Structure 1
Amino acid sequence: MAERLEAYLSRVWERPVSVADLSRIPGGASRETYRFTAKTDGQTRPLILRRDPPGSLIETDRSLEYLALESFHDRLPAPRPIAMEAEGAELERPFFIMERVEGGTAASPFTVIPYGEHARAIGEQFFSILGVIASADPDALPLARSAERPAPEDCWRIALDHWAGVIEVDQQHPQPIVWAAIRALRRRPPPPAQAVRVVHGDYRTGNFLHDGAGKILAILDWEMVHLGDPLEDLGWALDPLWGHYEADKVSGMLPRDEALAIWRRTSGLEIDEAALAWWSLFNAVKGQAIWTSAAKEYRDGGFTDPVLAISGWYTARRHDEILAAALMRLENLS
């Protein structure tokens, strides 16, 4: 791998490049991720390689992920993209390379009180950055070159059809709760999106780096990015699964009303509570779809990381509980 990286970078940078300290970063459902340093002309650049695996738990478009970084790295904390190869070139499978952000740590979603005394500062940045993403005009971004733009009235249906289809294909046992939620979502669709904007797709605690002293350094994991209703991202960030067991805060950071006020201010958008309730229930369906696929891949032997076994067990059962509660709230709002 190091030799292939050297050959690729030497060719595209048109000068000799040596690669050192290459190591794989564990985890990740849709890309193989490696850290390394590239040395050329007396300079050292810390970089990250994201390469498509032979098979993927979550089918995503690497070009969209790359274009999302290209769109936002100068607007908010995010790694700068360096190069992308859709055909694989010297590395044989599609990949892209981005700068590595040093000195940060990512909190596990299942850690109790991960941000300590800095929870408020982290939360203010977290929901402000999400608002910045939702405020951007997609037509003015590099992402517009590849992302499909749905009609505002179709956002919910496209999203729901996709994840319901994942569950239908991958489920290995009856799942009455999630199918009840899917039926309820179809019976009572939300209003059209107030604006079609960039949806990060997996914006949550655990998917960003912070410095341990109250500063977010980088928003990561853009592989599920798409255009849609920005309330989809907000609902995912608010999902109780990411709450770090703190009932009075969302994402282990801020009280819910404060988080929503920050998002409103930075996005310039409003929040229809009935629409947010729909997207919250939807996001629990999306989560259950991801855990369903994780369990299938683990049982079939395609991915043997124990994290996938936990996903098919603990997180799946937890999202059943969240689904049931969200379904009741949606029914009460109808």
Structure 2
Amino acid sequence: MEAELAQYLTSKIPGSSGMAISNVFRIPGGASRETWMFDAAWEADGHSHTGAFVLRKDPPASLLTTERELEYSFYRAFEDSPVPVPRMRWLENGSTALGAPFFIMDRILGCDSNANRIQEAEYTPVRDALARRMYEILTEIHAFDWRGTEIERVIDPPAPGECWKRELDHWERVINENELSPQPIARAAIRWLRANPPPPPQRVTVVHADYRVGNFLYTPDGIHGIVDWEMAHLGDPLEDLAWSFMEAWEWTRDGRKGGIIWAEDAIRVYEEASGTKVDREALHWWDVFGSVKGQAIWLTGARSFQDGKTAELMMPFTSYWLINFQDEIMLRAMGRGA
């Protein structure tokens, strides 16, 4: 890959020569795209230059089918906002330069994203502050005026009353297309969701759609980048709040959301920062919805492995553990026990 990256960056950076690529490393995981880190060094205008980059490249198969231009557009829209994001460089929808479509962005140096590292002793004095900042940033995402930005170009915004149905219809289709065996618990949850729709949001906002511990870059000094926007869309902001609370992300298994904050504390921070009140019944609806969505994602990974589209070990893992675990979460979310 080094030679291909060198050739591509040389073609994109005016006047560059002697391009050298180093420290190419694939980041484990990733639901929809391969994520690679690499460094580059080159000459231009009589000076030496270096850069640290992240490559997001379409894989043969994934847990999610998402549109890279959409993800790229959300990153671009937030570049000059209060929400910290990496700066985008290049998007290639049809390029074969690296064997598949991709985009490249700057790498934010010196940060971690690991959901377990934030539980370590080093972070004990600052964990509460990081948790608070996490939910303050979420309100900044939801307050962002997306009209007139690249987001409006790539997404047809739903009416407030359509937000829940658009998302539920989408993820039910994903289950229909990918289940390898009947999913009675997910089907029961879908029936409940359709019979008990939430009220429309006061306003349609950007929804990150995978907002949780593990999807932001942090140091003890704070949060420096919100990443993994591949599922982002326009909709009900409570979708993000509920998703961040999902039991699958309770890394410490003690009830703290993301392993760092109690739900009531997070809601209080969100309400204080946003100046809004969280509708608890609507939040419960989005909690149940999040379990359906999570199950759809795990089923997609299992289907990809079953059909021979990928040999990634992450995919069968979803079928042997996460699908059953998500069923238990779904039952608890519906208030039926497990």
TM-score under structure 2 length normalisation: 0.90
Give the aligned length: 328
- For residues 300 and 89 of structure 1, do their structure 2 counterparts lie closer, same or farther at Cα, with a shift above 3 Å needed? closer
Contact 2:5–2:21 (Cα < 8 Å) also in 1: no
Indicate how the Cα distance of structure 1 residues 19 and 32 shifts in structure 2: closer, same or farther if over 3 A, else same: farther
Matched, 1:33 2:26: no
1:135–1:268: 8 Å Cα contact kept in structure 2? no
- The correspondence of residues 68-217 of structure 1 with structure 2, limited to 5 A, is 68-74=74-80, 75-88=82-95, 90-108=97-115, 113-114=119-120, 115-211=123-219, 213=220, 215-217=222-224
Provide the secondary structure at the position in 1 that maps to 2:55: strand
- 1:15-70: per-residue Cα shift (whole Å, max 9, x none)? 22514112322321311222112223301010011122234431111111111111
Amino acid at match of 2:40: A
CA separation in 2, counterparts of 1:121 and 1:247?
19
Does residue 58 of structure 1 match 2:59? no
Query: Shift of residue 239 of structure 1?
Result: 0.7
Which residue type is aligned with residue 121 of structure 1? A
1:246 and 1:316 map into 2 onto residues whose CA distance is: 18
Q: Which residue of 2 aligns with 1:332?
A: none
Aligned mate of 2:51, from 45, 53, 58: 45
| Contact 1:112–1:245 under 8 Å retained in 2 | no
Q: Where do 5+ consecutive residues of structure 2 fail to align? A: none
Contact 1:171 1:293 (C-alpha < 8 Å) held by counterparts: yes
One-letter amino acid matched to 2:10: S
| 1:72 to 1:265, Cα distance in 2 relative to 1, 3 A | farther
Distance 1:269 1:71 in 2: 24
Give the 3 Å change call, closer, same or farther, for CA 112–217 of structure 1 in structure 2: closer
Partner of 2:284: 277
Q: Which residue of 2 aligns with 1:20?
A: 21
Partner of 2:9: 9
Give me the TM-score of the superposition, normalised by structure 1: 0.91
Q: Does 1:296 align with 2:294?
A: no
Between 1:198-207 and 1:252-261, the stretch displaced more is 252-261
Question: Aligned with 1:93: secondary structure?
Answer: coil
Where in structure 1 are there 5+ consecutive unaligned residues? 330-334
- Find the partner of 1:313 among 312, 320, 324: 320
What is the one-letter code of the residue matched to 1:205?
Answer: V
Letter of the 1:193 counterpart? P
CA distance in 2, matches of 1:184, 1:138: 32
Equivalent-residue separation in structure 2 for 1:174 and 1:119 (angstroms): 41
Which deviates the most, 92-101 or 82-91?
82-91
Paired residues of 1:8 and 1:89 also in contact (CA < 8 A): no
Hey, what's the Cα distance between the residues in 2 that align with 1:47 and 1:271?
Answer: 38
For residues 152 and 232 of structure 1, the distance between their equivalents in structure 2, rounded to whole angstroms, comes to 13
Specify the alignment match of 2:331 in structure 1: 324
Work out whether residues 60 and 310 of structure 2, in 8 Å CA contact, stay in contact via their aligned partners in 1. no
Bigger shift: residues 130-139 or 243-252:
243-252
Question: Displacement of 1:71 after TM fit?
Answer: 1.6
Whether contact under 8 Å (1:124, 1:262) holds in the other structure is yes
Corresponding residue for 2:246?
A: 239
- Aligned-residue CA RMSD in angstroms? 2.1
Amino acid at match of 2:73: L
Structure 1 residue 203, shift from structure 2 partner? 0.8
Deviation, structure 1 residue 92 = 4.3
